Structure 1
Amino acid sequence: MGKSMCFVMPTLLTKMRTLVIEPIPPLLFDEKHGVEKKGLKVAVIDNTYTDPKGANRDVNVADMIKKADMIYVTPDACFDDNGKNSRVMDAVIALNQTEKLVLVALDEAHLAWHEAKPQFKALRNLKNLFPNVALMTATGTATKPTREKLLKELLRADRSKELWASVDAPNIRARCYHVEVKKGSAKKSKEGEEADAPHETKTTPGDWKKLVELIAKEVKNEPAVFFYDNQQAIDVIAEAFKKYASDIITLTYTGDYDAKTQAEILEKWKKNEATLVIATSAFGHGVSRVDVRHVYHLGVPQSLEEWVQEAGRAGRDGKPATATLLWHDQTPEEMAFEGLDEEDKKEAISRLKAMQLYCKSEECRRRVLFEYFGEEVAKKSCDNCDLCLKLPVLERIVIEPHTIDASLDL
């Protein structure tokens, strides 16, 4: 169970309740199954309990959590769109006043600063909501400044202890290659000027042929994940695999899928019913399959933290694996920073620029990573990245989307 065991132990030892705030919805069901095997009663609560149109909006939440030993909730079940307490959070606070919780734990705690949604910002106030309860935060990717924020703003710094380990996974071969993704040009009017009508780009399976064949050649029948943060292209890429690499069975996964669908996809993949998952970054946190041999990401992740999360899906069994970043040129202005205040936006752009430096580096990939996360750099070469191994440069790949009118039925 990894770090999850740290959340469970206080309840096992004291028989008191623990509240775990889990930002990654599919993990709720993973946690539930694992904890129930230890004889504990579990309540899993997501936004279907707080959304006015949610399937569980009429469920008596207070009664539900009273019957549980472990309470697992998502941030959007704790707080509304304005960052105010939801009925779920009010019920937990009320319960704590009569039957004190032993622990409030926040998983993937760095997201309290990396996500723009009010529900995530509200997580920074946990120590005020539960002044008499022990707090714990966990994250697999936090720089030194982020760890300092966790201690100072989210935890009680004078009574907290920090435990951390290296972000490095030495069994994973890190590779970084440049690809070209051409933007569709605006549709021209008869006079040769750009039309006023809105337009957007859309790819076809043929645009992905070269990349699909390359990945299929490497992956063969080994478990793999392909990340691309363009939800509209995910199904097209899956179609390209069916057309050009039909022996690679694929599943698709995006953040738009509901929690039940996401959990079903994870279950199929864990049962080895597919070789490759084609997904957005929503798949990058906490997926616990240990035998993934290949991870690919097309584009530039918004931060090295995000890339480490995704790359870390590979080789969790300690055996050799590869994490390949297929990056293309993007400027901070092209990235989405909506909802961030000026300070958070400045930090987000700084993280993105660090990610771009990693992509364009001419020295050891791990050295760049260690310096970013504030770790001591022991040696110049890691002997397991494309630069240290002097691997050949990837053959030129160009993905050229078509431009179509947004008014068309897509």
Structure 2
Amino acid sequence: MAELFGFRDFRPGQAEILEAVLAGEDVLAVMPTGRGKSLCYQLPAVVRGGLTLVVSPLIALMRDQVSALQANGIEAGSLTSADDPASREQTWDRLDAGTLRLLYLAPERLAVPGLAERLGRAGLTMIAVDEAHCVSQWGHDFRPEYLRIAELAEMAGRPQIAAFTATADAAARRDIAQRLFTRAPREFVAGFDRPNLHLAVAAKRSGFHQVRDFVKARPERSGIVYCASRKACEDYAERLQAEDVDALAYHAGLDGASRGERQDRFVKEEGVVMCATVAFGMGVDKPDVRYVVHAALPKSMEAYYQEIGRAGRDGDPADTLMLWSLGDAALRRRQIAESEADDARKAMELRRLGALIAYCEAPRCRRQTLLAYFGDRAEPCGNCDLCDDPPALIDGTVLAQKAMSAIARTGQRFGLEHLVSVLRGVNTDKVAARGHDRLPTFGIGDDLSKDQWMSVFRQLFAAGAIDQPIDGHGEWVITPEGKEILFGKAGIELRPPEDKRGARVARHRPSDASEALTSGRDRDLYEALRRLRGELARESGKPAYTVFADRTLIDMALTRPSSREEMAQVFGVGARKLERYGDLFLDLIAREG
């Protein structure tokens, strides 16, 4: 492992899974993004020989992994829509010649005629299924093409199957096991915690300006901004460019050449910010993404967890920020209602949306709320916005009763703008026309600002006290749980209705590099090593991290190896990279003293 991949220790959960895979067992493993799922099928493919087929829907990620494997001298290839015809033909030739160790395949390619026979002749020993939740009807990104995997395995002589995903609850795991495996797999659930990710959520106010402030606080850092639409992607990218940010838009409306060019820039260059649609997603195997921002509400907790998993894959600190509004939630509910899914699926999606909104308005540690959703437990993490500045909860019963009284007195037929105007005593034309300025609730909340009342309504929605009918027109109604509070039969705790957290989450936290490199001499060497890495990456046309990861450069700067033997002990320096780059970096370290 050290010789090829440069790693001397396994990450949590890897050793047990690798042992089972190497023993020939069928495996279903749930591992957090960044915990090293790919090594669990790449290492056995190299050790045992034969051919491993990797099925994944993330074309960009497959391309990045193939590039990294080839940089380590491992025979790997891919067959996806992003590959040019000459490259695909070369991959087919290597497959037929039996020289490939790993073949990456997009799920739509499973229908290629004669594929099973050619795989069998090439010595197929294992099918590795990435993003295995796509097999399940209860997964958040079900892909019908994935159902062909079991058929392909049967035709190819029932090779070993190893399935991996970062997000699958118990129902999804049962469904995956039934749809994908002919024999019961050995299951591993390695936990869902990503302790290096700082979690933060803020109410959406100015939208772009909040994103801009967050991004500008992290100069020269690679990041992803998830947007709700193609138009929003283009708009955010253009406006960030006007703020001297190296930003690009990435969505399904672009032609393949444009997507490929922008993907390459994001992966290979440092400090690029990608504005991407949530629906399209980004399968990026880029370890040094330092932040992920959601400019709009994601589809579900599963999707949110998957998307923030693009950050900090190298294990170094990374930031996340989600902006949300009740308008986002209402839009998502309408999308669910208008979808072609059956009633069971719609009910599941609504429950997932409810869990996401509860997470947004959580009163205590976000990591505890996030992990609890996936059946995991944790102590307060000290690495989220609510742990940074814990809110002092108040008895919010009276505030809740005022808000719900406004809903009830206006006939449960109005949206928030109107309700807040009634509570604050703002006599708009709409309020006057309906006589709502004469209601007992008119002006009873004039001690709170509009933003503060919006905070109260968000928290009541998250607590299930109020709701918006899916088939309605934006009106708010009181739920049975809310009536218990309204009529004094139950109480409710709320955060103080002053949500200023949007300004605090823009702070920039130090990376492992700035924490580890305490002396100016070490930092100067680290920057010199980064410049050399960048030059080598540009010359080869490869991403910088395929030369050496940031953590490797930090280790070099701290230990200052003076020989090949010492360089071989540096984290992430395998035999091939030592041969290719070792002398160049040793010479630089010697010159810098």
Question: When the two structures are superposed, what TM-score results if normalisation uses the length of structure 2?
Answer: 0.53
Counterpart in 2 of 1:361?
A: 362
CA offset digits 1:25-78 (Å, max 9, x no partner): 1122212222323544434212479xxxx968x969965642444221111222
TM-superposition CA deviations, 1:201-227 (whole Å, max 9, x none): xxxxxx865335422442233322211
Choose between structure 1 and 2 for higher RCO, CA contacts under 8 A separated by at least 6 residues.
1
Q: 2:317 aligned to 302, 306, 320, which one?
A: 320
Where does residue 53 of structure 2 map in the other structure?
19
Superposition deviation, residue 389 in structure 1: 2.1
Call closer, same or farther: CA 1:117–1:234 in 2, change over 3 Å. Answer: same
- CA spacing shift, 1:222–1:39, aligned 2, 3 Å: closer
Say whether 1:241 aligns with 2:240: yes
1:110 aligns with 2:133: yes
Q: Report 1:10-409 matches (<5 A).
A: 10-47=44-81, 65-67=95-97, 68-78=100-110, 86-87=111-112, 90-113=113-136, 114-123=140-149, 128-130=154-156, 132-158=158-184, 160-180=185-205, 210-243=209-242, 245-246=243-244, 248-257=245-254, 261-272=258-269, 274-281=271-278, 284-329=281-326, 330-331=329-330, 332-335=332-335, 338=339, 340-375=341-376, 377-379=377-379, 381-390=380-389, 393-394=500-501
Deviates more, 1:292-301 or 1:119-128: 119-128
CA distance in 2 between partners of 1:65 and 1:339 (Å): 40
TM-score (norm 1): 0.75
How far did residue 323 of structure 1 move? Answer: 0.6
Letter in 1 for 2:104: Y
Across the aligned residues of Structure 1 and Structure 2, the Cα RMSD in angstroms comes to 3.2
Counterpart-to-counterpart distance in 2, 1:323 and 1:117: 27
Q: Hey, what's the Cα distance between the residues in 2 that align with 1:40 and 1:239?
A: 40
CA distance in 1, matches of 2:315, 2:45: 30
| Greater fraction of residues in strand | 1
Is the contact between residue 210 and residue 502 of structure 2 (CA under 8 Å) also seen in structure 1? no
Cα contact 1:383–1:389 (8 A) shared by 2: yes
Identity %: 27
Shift in Å at residue 256 of structure 1?
A: 3.7
| Bigger Cα Rg | 2
Segments of structure 2 that go 5 or more residues without pairing to the other structure are: 6-35, 391-498, 504-593
Shift, 1:177, TM fit: 1.0
User: CA offset at residue 117 of structure 1?
Assistant: 4.6
Deviation of 1:152 after TM superposition, in Å, equals 3.2
Contact 2:76 2:101 in 1 (8 A): yes
Whole-Å Cα distance in 2 between the matches of residues 364 and 115 of structure 1? 28
One-letter amino acid matched to 2:198: R
Report the Cα offset of residue 229 of structure 1: 2.5
State the Cα deviation string for residues 170-202 of structure 1 (Å, max 9, x = none). Answer: 12211111115xxxxxxxxxxxxxxxxxxxxxx
More helix by share: 2
Give the Cα separation in 2 of the matches to 1:224 and 1:61: 32
Indicate if the aligned counterparts of 1:15 and 1:69 stay in contact, CA closer than 8 A: yes
Measured in 2, the distance between the counterparts of 1:143 and 1:55 equals 39
Aligned partners of 1:65 and 1:92 also within 8 Å: no
Aligned partners of 1:220 and 1:268: how far apart in 2?
17
Q: Could you tell me how far 1:23 is from its partner in structure 2?
A: 0.6
Relative distance call for 1:61 and 1:346 in structure 2 (3 A) is farther
User: How far 1:286 moved relative to its partner?
Assistant: 4.2
Q: Is the 8 A contact 1:292 1:315 kept in 2?
A: yes
C-alpha spacing 1:300/1:150, structure 2 compared with 1 (3 Å): same
Letter in 1 for 2:241: K
Check conservation: 1:298, 1:325, Cα contact below 8 A.
yes
Using the alignment, how far apart are the partners of 2:168 and 2:319 within structure 1? 22
1:209 and 1:74, CA in 2 relative to 1: closer, same or farther beyond 3 A? closer
Instruction: Report if aligned partners of 1:10, 1:103 keep a CA contact under 8 Å in 2.
Output: no
One-letter identity of the residue aligned with 2:191: S
8 Å CA contact 1:228–1:298 kept in 2: the answer is yes
- Once residues 319 and 38 of structure 1 are traced to their aligned partners in structure 2, the CA distance between those partners, rounded to angstroms, is 23
Deviation at 1:121, TM superposition (A): 4.7
Q: Structure 2 counterpart of 1:66, which letter?
A: D
- Could you list the per-position Cα deviations for residues 276-298 of structure 1 after superposition, in whole angstroms to 9, with x for gaps in the alignment? 21112367554233333322102
* Residue 323 to residue 163, structure 1, CA distance change in 2 (3 Å): same
- Where does structure 1 lack aligned partners over 5 or more consecutive residues? 79-85, 181-206, 397-410
The Cα shift of 1:137 comes to: 0.7
Report if aligned partners of 1:10, 1:16 keep a CA contact under 8 Å in 2.
no
Secondary structure of 1:236's counterpart equals: helix
Helix, strand or coil: the match of 1:287? Answer: coil
Contact 1:105–1:137 under 8 Å retained in 2 = yes
Cα distance in 1 for partners of 2:72, 2:209 equals 48
**2:226 and 2:322 mapped to 1: Cα distance?**
9
Letter of the 2:187 counterpart: E
